[in-house]
Amino acid sequence: MNLRLHIWRQSGPDAQGMLKTYDVQNVSEHMSFLEMLDVLNEDLLTKGEIPVAFDHDCREGICGTCGMVINGRPHGPLVRTTACQLHMRTFKDGDEIYIEPWRARAFPVMRDLIVDRGSFDRIIQKGGFVSVNTGNAQDGNAIPISKKDADRAMDAAACIGCGACVAACPNSSAMLFTAAKVGHLGSLPQGQTERSTRAMNMVLQMDAEGFGACTNHYECEAACPKGISAEFIAQMNKDFVASAFGGRD
Amino acid sequence: MALNSNIPDGPIQQKWDKHRAELKLVNPANKRKYNVIVVGTGLAGASAAATLAELGYNVSAFTYHDSARRAHSIAAQGGINAAKNYQNDGDSVWRLFYDTIKGGDFRARESNVYRLAQVSTSIIDQCVAQGVPFAREYGGYLSNRSFGGAQVSRTFYARGQTGQQLLIGAYQALQRQVGLGKVKLHNKQEMMDLIVVDGRARGIVTRDMVTGKVQSHMADAVVLATGGYGNVFYLSTNAMACNVTATYRAHKRGAFFANPCYTQIHPTCIPQSGDYQSKLTLMSESLRNDGRIWVPKQKGDTRSPDQIPETERDYYLERKYPSFGNLSPRDIASRAAKEVCDEGRGVGPGGLGVYLDFSDAIRRLGEKTIADRYGNLFEMYERITGENPYKVPMRIYPAVHYTMGGLWVDYNLMSNVPGLFVLGEANFSDHGANRLGASALMQGLADGYFVIPYTIGGYFANGGLQAVGNDSQEARTAVQESEQKIAALLALNGKRSPTSFHRELGKIMWDKCGMARNEQGLKEALKRIPELREEFWQNVKIPGSGAELNQSLELGLRVADFLEFAELMCFDALQRNESCGGHFREEYQTEDGEAKRNDDEYCYAAAWEYNGVGATPTLHKEDLSFDNVKLATRSYK
Ligand SMILES: Cc1cc2nc3c(=O)[nH]c(=O)nc-3n(C[C@H](O)[C@H](O)[C@H](O)COP(=O)(O)OP(=O)(O)OC[C@H]3O[C@@H](n4cnc5c(N)ncnc54)[C@H](O)[C@@H]3O)c2cc1C
Ligand code: SF4
Ligand code: FES
């Protein structure tokens, strides 16, 4: 198939960006979306033009590195699918495709489609962990955990830290990402000791990074490639209120 | 130079305890005076950096990713082994040790492997304490599955995302230390070189991948946990950015590279679909618990799988290896797949595929149970191929997956360059000529959580470290050399892309140094690789400048190192006139096509010393002695 791409080009963090149009020919339906961009980039490079910078690594939907807004949707049209797992059979000959970076104050554009998501790491640094040093652990089976709780923790822990939830949110809120971590640890007995402070400290950092507030649009849940449920936001809000009474540290 | 593996004496069961008791300690107040550089934040690097910081060392960690959580470890699906014997099925430290030695085809160091089996149980405990959501049974206890090369159920897992969950655990421990100010984390910094001063590893050169700035960082010890080199084949299951630069650069600075020819070809990957293919996708080996592998008995049978009756199917693994069946070790299962495809019985486009069929398991257990166990893998398969594996059997083919070779290290995980420690897939230490499934995650975390925190203290406590700064001659020279290399690449302005060279190199390696190798092919490769390298240095094109985010430049630098390293692999494969594990030399096989080892002449680890680009490296041998496990022909029949 032949396609027309409109891609955001921006040469650096402070540069002015714009959409540029490229035509790509003979795209196979078996290609992944990123492989289609590879083909474009090889072509640009041999013509002496600068290839389109985009982030990617595992190409298996697990590392969370890739991320781009495709036709207005973070990660593109398929539900629960990262950009790297999207295949060209989803498109048809003659399609025009708009490709842009995540847009959020807390995710500055570094180049073309690459943004800086360091703010996510800083949120985790404020409490997205269990404070246990290596060597302190008791036997793994000494803490039985019901399958239900373990499954719930796993549902939340499946977050890949891609940032699509932020890109989808009209307020650029990072609630789903933050709630996924709070929900993962809060579903497990190991996470209870620090539960009262975790939500508070992480949410405050989220605000400090310039992410917006949550006004219940649920766009995040729809865009999340890992199907993280917005229910975790409700759970985090409860923890947050509880810790407002308990104080933060 | 004689290789000293520094194996403690005494019975194997007591070596590690004894060694820990004898290692000199650094007192707690002094630990903060030591600076440690950790390159890599995968399982090995993140666990090491976090633990060293907990102990009080000053740690600087580096990764080329935009976040420590993105390391390639994240992609591991199936699970992690540990000798917990929770299933009461006869597992023990001894059995895990034995299985690993045997699985590695008797080419690993006994003492290291025993220690690995010993600490495996603590890993699970540590990860549970961190909140890793391992799969549980209804009673609340940890669940296990089986993996290839073992007859016990000792693999712990978190759905099909075990690597992700273990890495997130280590990443969180690391971020906690960053928050506490004990680790300085440098994202988007690519190590370009190792700095050696007075014979000791004292720092690294990095390139900032956003600004392009090249600079030195100095420390008292350097820990490399930079993963494997499978991408030398271009197509592999490794993440796109995985590369050999860090370990290869250290090799060029004097560190010996051991057993580079030992590469693992994984039997269950999604077959290639076209030339544009950028990587191959693994379907976890855990699928072989419930999936049955078969091809048609008849050559060129193009009927759809549901039209081929039971009697006309060849479940070749079950037939050839009745006691391990579909769970035969990877090297054996991969070669068996190649064999049936070479016979013309392969399925799918180009006949490069075999079926992995779940219909029996679905009939027996129901679709729900299968979905519970492998749901995300099935989804992934369908997304990539457009076929529904609940309805039609998966098609799989072997692909490059893991590299057992790596920098040579002693019992303390220190290379022959004092102060340079190497962990995880980047070292050669535990898997011999073939790694068993679910053992890489175990090794990475063993090295990082439970080995290096002890052994690095022993190195520091021995003293002798002078202060060296960024202004030292060695640091300045190393920075200049990296800058010159970048400038040279950018100045070429040739006609071909770095990817085109990478792809061509990969094809040479797959054809000549892949699943099966022979003398003639290896010699051809040794002729072709230098030619390709020469062309690269005349004709590669890298647009843009060095002082900006430039992905073509990043790739160009990595490919340049692969083009040198590939030769080393071929030298190693050529030198080893035997077949063992992942190294199958066609000249050395038994009558029924099994690998034929030669213990009299090749029972050693081959550690190579660098002598210059294109020059034949010098071979140093570490003789392996098997005092606890009897050398035997590996049989899975
Ligand atoms: C698809 C797949 C599935 C797998 N499944 C399993 C499984 O189920 N069980 C199992 O036991 N094993 C599995 N493995 C193998 C296992 O995942 C790896 O061997 C292991 O995770 C390697 O961990 P590591 O810490 O050594 O390196 P990695 O996780 O590869 O980390 C390397 C780190 O080094 C950094 N780095 C590298 N070079 C540089 C440089 N020059 N400068 C700066 N930073 C650098 C990277 O940024 C990264 O942080 C699987 C592998 C693959 C490919
Ligand atoms: S919650 Fe979903 S969309 Fe947000 S970072 Fe995690 S995986 Fe991505
Ligand atoms: S590249 Fe890893 S999730 Fe897309």
A127, closest residue in chain B (CA to CA): B176
Tell me how far apart the 2 most distant CA atoms of chain A are, in Å.
62
A45 close to A51: Cβ distance less than 8 angstroms: yes
- Tell me if B379 is assigned to some domain: yes
Quick one: pLDDT at residue A160? 98
Sort B540 into a burial class: Cβ within 10 Å, 0-12 / 13-18 / 19+.
buried
The length of chain B is: 637
Cβ contact B140–A146 (<8 Å): yes
Q: What are phi and psi of B621, to 5 degrees?
A: -110, 130
Q: Strand B58-62 relative to strand B35-39: parallel, antiparallel, unpaired?
A: parallel
- Tell me if B567 is assigned to some domain: yes
Q: Is the pLDDT of residue B637 over 80?
A: no
Give the CA distances from residue A77 to residues A91, A165, B274, in Å, rounded to whole numbers and listed in that order. Answer: 9, 14, 24
Tokens of B621: 């041998």
B249 close to B381: Cβ distance less than 8 angstroms: no
* Integer Cα distance of B136 and B505 in angstroms: 45
Tell whether A63 is within 8 A of chain B (Cβ): yes
- Tell me if B175 is assigned to some domain: no
* Integer Cα distance of B467 and B301 in angstroms: 70
Q: Is B576 a catalytic residue?
A: no
Tell whether A136 is within 8 A of chain B (Cβ): yes
Within chain A, all domains assigned CATH 1.10.1060.10 are found at 117-133+143-246
- Helix (H) or strand (E) run with residue B622 in it: strand B618-623
Tokens of A191: 């996470």
The verdict on B514 and B603 lying in the same domain is yes
A with B: how many residue pairs have Cβ under 8 Å apart?
218
Given the candidates 3.30.70.580, 1.10.10.10, 2.30.40.10, 1.10.1060.10, the CATH classification of the domain at A117-133+143-246 is: 1.10.1060.10
| C-alpha dihedral, A163 to A169 to A170 to A172, nearest 10° | -40
Cβ contact B164–A160 (<8 Å): yes
> What residues of chain A lie within 8 A of the CB of B161, using their CB?
62, 158
Give which of B43, B84, B132 to mutate to test A binding, by max A Cβ within 10 Å. Answer: B132
Give the CA distances from residue B271 to residues B349, B386, B395, B508, in Å, rounded to whole numbers and listed in that order. Answer: 9, 13, 7, 19
The verdict on B361 and B481 lying in the same domain is no
Hey, CA dihedral for B209, B211, B216, B220, is it positive or negative? negative
Q: What are phi and psi of B394, to 5 degrees?
A: -65, 155
Q: Is the pLDDT of residue B330 over 90?
A: no
To test the pocket of ligand 2, the residue of A81, A155, A165 to mutate (highest count of ligand atoms within 8 Å of its CB) is A165
- Tell me if B555 is assigned to some domain: yes
Q: Strand B200-208 relative to strand A69-70: parallel, antiparallel, unpaired?
A: unpaired
Residues 6+ apart with CB under 8 A from A176: A159, A165, A220, A221, A224, A228, A230, A232, A233
Tell whether A2 is within 8 A of chain B (Cβ): no
Tokens of B244: 């050999």
Describe the crossing of helices B519-539 and B498-513 by its angle, rounded to 10 degrees: 170
Min distance B139 CA to chain A CA atoms (Å): 6
Q: How confident is residue B1, by pLDDT bands cut at 50, 70 and 90?
A: low
- Tell me if B550 is assigned to some domain: yes
The verdict on B391 and B514 lying in the same domain is no
* Integer Cα distance of B616 and B612 in angstroms: 8
Strands annotated E in B138-254: 155-156, 183-186, 189-197, 200-208, 214-218, 221-224
Q: What are phi and psi of A192, to 5 degrees?
A: -75, -35
> Average pLDDT per run of 10 along chain A, which is 249 residues long?
98 97 96 97 96 97 97 97 96 98 97 98 98 96 95 97 98 98 97 94 97 95 97 95 69
B237 close to B456: Cβ distance less than 8 angstroms: no
Domain tally, chain B: 2
Quick one: pLDDT at residue A248? 47
* Integer Cα distance of A175 and A157 in angstroms: 14
Report which of B597, B591, B572 is spatially closest to residue B256, judged by C-alpha positions: B572
Question: Looking at residues B526-539, what average pLDDT do you find?
Answer: 98
Number of the ligand 2 atom closest to the C-alpha atom of A164: 3
DSSP for chain A reads --EEEEEEE-SSTTS--EEEEEEE----TTSBHHHHHHHHHHHHHHTTPPPPP---SSSSS-S-----EETTEET-SSTT--GGG-BGGGS-TT-EEEEE----TTS-EEETTEE--HHHHHHHHTT-S----TT----GGGS---HHHHHHHHHHHT-----HHHHH-TT-B-HHHHHHHHHHHHTSGGGSTTHHHHHHHHHHHHHHTT-B---S--HHHHH-TT---THHHHHHHHHHHHHHHH---
| Top-confidence residue, B2 or B397 | B397
Domain edge (last residue) among B368, B400, B432: B400
Min distance B45 CA to chain A CA atoms (Å): 14
* Integer Cα distance of B616 and B600 in angstroms: 25
Within chain A, all domains assigned CATH 3.10.20.30 are found at 3-110
Q: Which of B200, B202, B330, B585 is catalytic?
A: B330
Cβ contact B131–A45 (<8 Å): no
A27 close to A39: Cβ distance less than 8 angstroms: yes
Please, which residues 190-219 of chain A have a Cβ atom closer than 8 Å to chain B? 190-191
CATH number listed for the domain at residues A3-110: 3.10.20.30
CATH number of the domain at B548, please: 1.20.58.100
* Integer Cα distance of B306 and B17 in angstroms: 57
Question: What is the domain extent for residue B581?
Answer: 473-612
B275, closest residue in chain A (CA to CA): A31
Residue in the structure block whose two tokens are 């975390």: B445
Taking only the tens place, the pLDDT of each residue in B494-503 is: 999 999 999 9
Tell whether B547 is within 8 A of chain A (Cβ): no
Taking only the tens place, the pLDDT of each residue in B588-619 is: 998 878 889 999 999 999 999 999 999 999 99
- Helix (H) or strand (E) run with residue B372 in it: helix B367-385
Min distance A202 CA to chain B CA atoms (Å): 12
Q: How many CB atoms lie within 10 A of CB B387?
A: 12
To test the pocket of ligand 3, the residue of A33, A35, A55, A58 to mutate (highest count of ligand atoms within 8 Å of its CB) is A58
Cβ(B227) – ligand 1 distance below 6 Å = yes
Cβ(B39) – ligand 1 distance below 6 Å = yes
Q: Is the pLDDT of residue B626 over 70?
A: yes
* Integer Cα distance of A9 and A17 in angstroms: 5
Which residue from A49, A85, A184 is facing B383, i.e. has the nearest CB?
A85
DSSP for B378-434 reads HHHHHHHHS--TTTS-EEEEEEEEEE--EE---TTSB-SSTTEEE-GGGB--SSTTS
Report which of B329, B301, B332 is spatially closest to residue B314, judged by C-alpha positions: B301
Min distance B255 CA to chain A CA atoms (Å): 28
Quick one: pLDDT at residue B32? 95
> What residues of chain A lie within 8 A of the CB of B189, using their CB?
none
Q: How many CB atoms lie within 10 A of CB B67?
A: 23
CATH number of the domain at B275, please: 3.90.700.10
Domain edge (last residue) among B338, B372, B400: B400
- Tell me if B570 is assigned to some domain: yes
CA A147 / ligand 2 centre spacing (Å): 23
- Tell me if B308 is assigned to some domain: yes
CA B76 / ligand 1 centre spacing (Å): 8
Tell whether B88 is within 8 A of chain A (Cβ): no
- Tell me if B55 is assigned to some domain: no
